Structure 1
């Protein structure tokens, strides 16, 4: 799994961090970020739900090839 956050679109609503706090956090400016070591989703079943919860669609989740 690969998680991408469009930093230009992110408005810092924090829905991702509320939905999957083990994977997402907010940086010092209040914008979403993926926690270090969790770039692959960390096995969390809530990653896709967190992407859907983003009010501006700034998070995309895809499967890694291979």
Structure 2
């Protein structure tokens, strides 16, 4: 399944889905959700910004840290 036109982002999303994260398609964006249902990270289908991969990684780090703060 192709989640994003960016190869590296697509590979990272595929890895997260194998680990149990969920992915829902939308119009121009998909939504990647943690197995617990929260947090949700928005993913552009065709990112045009050269920083999109780094921004996506930052969003994942923030989502994981907020999950840890919420549980811990």
TM over 0.5, yes or no?
Answer: no
TM-score by length of 1: 0.35
Q: Which structure's relative contact order is higher, taking Cα pairs within 8 Å and 6+ residues apart?
A: 1
Larger Rg: 2
Greater helix share, 1 or 2? 2
